[in-house]
Amino acid sequence: MRNWMNIAGRLALWTACLLAPSADAKGATGAGEASGSSPNNMLIATISPSELLRSTPAASILESTYPTEELHRLFDDWRETFGRSYESDPPHEAALRKLTFLKNHAFIEEHNQAGHDWKLGHNEFSDLSQEEFMERMKLGKHSPGVFKPRGRSDGRLVSAGARSLRSLAADVEEDEFEGNAGEYDDLEVPDEKNWVEEGAVSSVKNQWFCGACWAFSAVGAIEGARAIKTGNLTDLSMQQLLDCDDTDMGCGGGLMNWAFQYDEDSVGLCSLNDYPYAYHRHWFWGCSRYAPYCTPIPDTRVSKYVNITETEEDLKAAIAIQPVSVAVMADGVSWQFYRDGIYSSPCEDPKTINHGVLAVGYGSDENGDYWLVKNSWGGYWGQGGYIKLGRNVGSESVGGSSCILTLASRPILKDEE
């Protein structure tokens, strides 16, 4: 029987994720390398950077001995790794970034010493406060909310002001969704699966400042389905979706299912080489200007998509078939500084989903069971661009770790002769 609330929720949970570049700089500034114990360092850990700046001259904060030589050297190493010079900024801004880095460093150290199953580490977000990180990524209170899609046939652009919130009781057409009740009853599901190792997952990409996580997730799922079907893994174009999918909102967010529907109605996807990522939507005649000059790759047209029932058993079975598009709640310090281990956080509210990613496997290690998830924040974030989310941790009834169960779907490709 069709789960109506699940279907309506899929429409309502519009993935809006304006994401900045991310990197993890493994080995460059590992957490726990420099703790420091000076009074200044204690102040940094307990007082906000802006408060400290009101009482301490910026020039003093930028001295090589503040708060200790070891911690200043750590900050300098991080700046060199990620190309932060602050030379064009006034001393106040450079001092604020240093204080923010040091405060984040103190938090990372405290977390890693507390015995959690996941570790944090410095990355390109290390000079951003949590609030700045969420604002830049359009997460938390900065998320633009739950948007109502325009519909697939009007072909008109809609400004942000014209978009409206959609309730969980939103109307949907019955033929736009394919359920999967009983679909996996006869499937032999292995205990572990890793589509990266099996050659069905392309390299990790970086969406930078464009909120196109939905396109990266959808394209990754289509790439995986095609690789499994044909034995040929080809990087496909996310830019084609940004320019030509008039239902989703380009860099302003979108939904993987709408991307699949675009591909149902199109001639297929071009390769990434033929239609490269531009880090923004080509607003003026973008699709009509660029798409005709690329050749769609065979076996990239979607026949339909399948929404995965919100259970860990069914998500596991779906991933055993192919990589699966999923959406998660990605705000918070643990996502900002995730380095490795299994991260488990329950889904507090499905409406907080704000980031589309790709589930490419599952397995177990010494810390427990996990989902292997490919992110689109670059290859230096997390574990080479991947994160392990907790599985079988008692959060299935509330949407799974980081809401991973609530918006999962997979494309089925058309048979081409």
From 40, 41, 307, 375, active-site residue: 375
CB 138 within 8 A of CB 145: no
What pLDDT, in 10s, does the model give residues 139-156? 677 655 444 444 333 333
CB 162 within 8 A of CB 296: no
Phi, psi of 208 (to 5 degrees): 55, -135
The yes-or-no answer on residue 17 being catalytic is: no
What pLDDT, in 10s, does the model give residues 355-371? 999 999 999 999 999 99
The yes-or-no answer on residue 213 being catalytic is: yes
From 213, 244, 270, 403, active-site residue: 213
pLDDT top residue among 305 and 284: 305
Distance CA 249, CA 241 (A): 10
Question: What is the greatest pairwise CA distance in the chain?
Answer: 72
Q: Show the tokens assigned to 278.
A: 């531009």
What pLDDT, in 10s, does the model give residues 315-355? 999 999 999 999 999 988 999 999 999 999 988 887 788 89
Domains of the chain by start residue, with CATH? 4-20+138-413 (3.90.70.10), 39-118 (no CATH)
Q: What is the mean pLDDT of residues 221-243?
A: 97
Predicted pLDDT at 30: 43
Q: Show the tokens assigned to 115.
A: 């015995």
The yes-or-no answer on residue 355 being catalytic is: yes
What pLDDT, in 10s, does the model give residues 9-45? 443 334 445 333 333 333 334 433 444 455 555 666 6
- The overall average pLDDT reported for the chain is 81
pLDDT at 314 over 80: yes
The model's pTM: 0.82
Q: What is the per-residue DSSP string for 139-201?
A: -GGGS---BPP--SSS-----GGG--B--TT----GGG-B--TTTTTT----S-EETTTTT-S
pLDDT at 379 over 90: no
What pLDDT, in 10s, does the model give residues 56-71? 999 999 999 999 999 9
Predicted pLDDT at 72: 96
Phi, psi of 13 (to 5 degrees): -85, 80
Residues in the chain: 417
Q: What is the mean pLDDT of residues 169-177?
A: 34
From 105, 111, 122, 355, active-site residue: 355
Q: What is the mean pLDDT of residues 370-377?
A: 95
In angstroms, the Cα distances linking 209 to 22, 131, 235 are 10, 17, 21
Distance CA 78, CA 75 (A): 5
